């Protein structure tokens, strides 16, 4: 624990078979924390022993201090089982963060199937851009021009944010403001009214809430939550200048062969040993992996230079002797 320094809190909720994925997103945050921000991971899980073991090991390997805390899953007593099983196991946990983490001012929530490809300080800067009413930041579910493939605009049986909805896989939350807004008292009536019409569970609830309170949401650009929909038909998220900041492998694409580029990025971070040289053990394998013909030719294969952009800037000139504790 560093005295006097407020950590950047990152929240992950991991149930069932999501343990390995959650460890990989945490590893990616540590790998890309090149400006050595003081990070604190808050992990809601049933697997406390496995997380404790791994993260304690990592504390010895990473060349700067970080913290973590393991928390029991917790839901309102009323409707406890329903909340737990809403959408994917445990995904609804984040709806209750304002009242569970009363000592925390603000945090970044990420789904377990997200990867950092840039320092967390990049996404954190959006807090400073909030105006007086904004309390959370997310990216659009689809970019404009994607109406023909949009889910919410074509199928939703409930109100949603904006023209095409928002994706909740990457979410900055100012809990102080959410508590002032009485967030949880707003969530429960929404759940009661719409529970039979919200196939995406917590994300739908968040969309309904911000439909009625659009002034409370800051919309971040798509490179902070890059998904296959941004590249599978045409490129609708322009990352050629800034690169891809966070990648989101929803629908299990890190684990199947539908999008080899996404799977390759995931595996190379999974295979990287924290504390080892990121140039030789991360950047070079990533370049090799993304240059394979089977990746280049595949759906979304054309974004490899955008995936590599930030990593190249950060890790290209790290020789063995520069990377020391
Ligand atoms: C969150 O909002 C509170 C209340 O407006 C403010 O004091 C605090 O600085 C905000 N936190 C961040 C990280 O911007
Ligand atoms: C903050 O920004 C949002 C989105 O642009 C807007 O709807 C809201 O009115 C703004 N709030 C203030 C106090 O300016
Ligand atoms: C992407 O954005 C950059 C800078 O904003 C711009 O110069 C470039 O033309 C854009 N590319 C496309 C394909 O829109
Ligand atoms: C990661 O490591 C596994 C086991 O050593 C290996 O089979 C796999 O090919 C590696 N993945 C990549 C993308 O290098
Ligand atoms: C990749 O695409 C190129 C050009 O279209 C083609 O010549 C090559 O055979 C393809 N390779 C694979 C592995 O499909």
Residues 182 and 306 reside in one and the same domain = no
- CA Rg value for the chain: 19
- Decide if 1 is inside a domain: no
Residues 233 and 219 reside in one and the same domain = no
Residues 146 and 292 reside in one and the same domain = no
Residues 183 and 37 reside in one and the same domain = yes
CA–centroid distance, residue 216 to ligand 3 (Å): 29
Q: What is the pLDDT of residue 76?
A: 67
CA–centroid distance, residue 232 to ligand 5 (Å): 17
Q: What is the pLDDT of residue 145?
A: 81
- Decide if 3 is inside a domain: no
- Decide if 321 is inside a domain: no
Q: Is 56 in the pocket of ligand 5 (CB under 6 A)?
A: no
**Longest Cα–Cα distance in the chain:** 60
Ligand nearest to the CA of 302: 5
pLDDT bin (cut points 50, 70, 90) of residue 20 is very high
List, in order, residues 6 or more apart from 220 with CB less than 8 Å away: 123, 126, 137, 138, 139, 170, 172
- Decide if 323 is inside a domain: no
- Decide if 324 is inside a domain: no
Residues 187 and 310 reside in one and the same domain = no
Q: Find the Cα–Cα–Cα–Cα dihedral 229, 241, 113, 280, rounded to 10°.
A: 130
pLDDT above 90: percentage of residues in the chain: 79
Residues 39 and 135 reside in one and the same domain = yes
Residues 161 and 291 reside in one and the same domain = no
CA–centroid distance, residue 306 to ligand 5 (Å): 21
- Residue 20 is part of which domain span? 8-223
Strands 136-140 and 217-219, how do they pair? Answer: parallel
As given in the structure block, the two tokens for residue 300 are 């979304």
pTM for the structure as a whole: 0.94
- Decide if 154 is inside a domain: yes
- Decide if 22 is inside a domain: yes
pLDDT bin (cut points 50, 70, 90) of residue 325 is very low
For residue 296, give the ligand 5 atom closest to its CA: 1
Q: Is 264 in the pocket of ligand 4 (CB under 6 A)?
A: yes
Residues 174 and 125 reside in one and the same domain = yes
Residues 192 and 233 reside in one and the same domain = no
Average the pLDDT over 95-102 and give the result.
Answer: 91
Residues 283 and 196 reside in one and the same domain = no
Instruction: Answer whether residue 324 shows pLDDT above 90.
Output: no
Q: Is 234 in the pocket of ligand 3 (CB under 6 A)?
A: no
Residues 208 and 233 reside in one and the same domain = no
- What is the domain-level CATH number for residue 149? 3.90.550.10
Residues 116 and 190 reside in one and the same domain = yes
- Decide if 121 is inside a domain: yes
How many distinct structural domains can be found in the chain?
A: 2
């Amino acid at each position: 624990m560093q005295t006097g320094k407020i950590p950047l809190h990152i929240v992950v909720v991991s149930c069932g078979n999501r343990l390995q994925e959650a460890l990989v997103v945490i590893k990616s945050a540590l790998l890309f924390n090149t400006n050595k921000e003081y990070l604190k991971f808050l992990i809601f899980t049933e697997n406390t022993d496995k997380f404790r073991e791994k993260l304690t090991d990592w504390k010895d390997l990473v060349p700067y201090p970080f913290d973590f805390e393991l928390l029991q899953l917790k839901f309102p007593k009323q409707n406890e089982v329903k909340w737990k099983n809403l959408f994917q196991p445990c995904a609804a946990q984040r709806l209750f963060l304002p009242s569970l983490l009363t000592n925390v001012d603000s945090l970044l929530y990420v789904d377990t199937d997200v990867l950092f490809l840039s320092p967390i300080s990049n996404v954190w800067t959006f807090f400073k851009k909030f105006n007086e009413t904004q309390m959370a930041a997310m990216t659009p579910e689809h970019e404009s021009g994607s109406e023909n493939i949009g889910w919410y605009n074509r199928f939703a049986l409930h109100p949603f944010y904006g023209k095409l909805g928002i994706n909740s896989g990457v979410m900055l939350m100012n809990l102080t403001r959410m508590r002032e807004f009485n967030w949880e008292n707003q969530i429960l009536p929404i759940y009661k009214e719409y529970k039979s019409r919200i196939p995406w569970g917590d994300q739908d609830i968040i969309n309904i809430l911000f439909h009625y309170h659009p002034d409370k949401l800051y919309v971040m650009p798509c490179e902070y939550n890059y998904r296959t929909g941004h590249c599978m038909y045409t490129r609708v998220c322009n990352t050629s200048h800034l690169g891809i900041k966070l990648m989101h492998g929803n629908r299990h694409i890190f684990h199947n062969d539908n999008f080899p580029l996404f799977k390759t990025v995931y595996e190379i971070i999974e295979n990287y040993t924290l504390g080892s040289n990121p140039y030789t053990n991360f950047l070079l394998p990533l370049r090799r992996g993304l240059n394979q013909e089977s990746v280049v030719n595949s759906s979304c294969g054309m974004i490899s230079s955008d995936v590599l952009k930030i990593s190249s800037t950060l890790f290209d000139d790290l020789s063995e002797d520069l990377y020391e504790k």
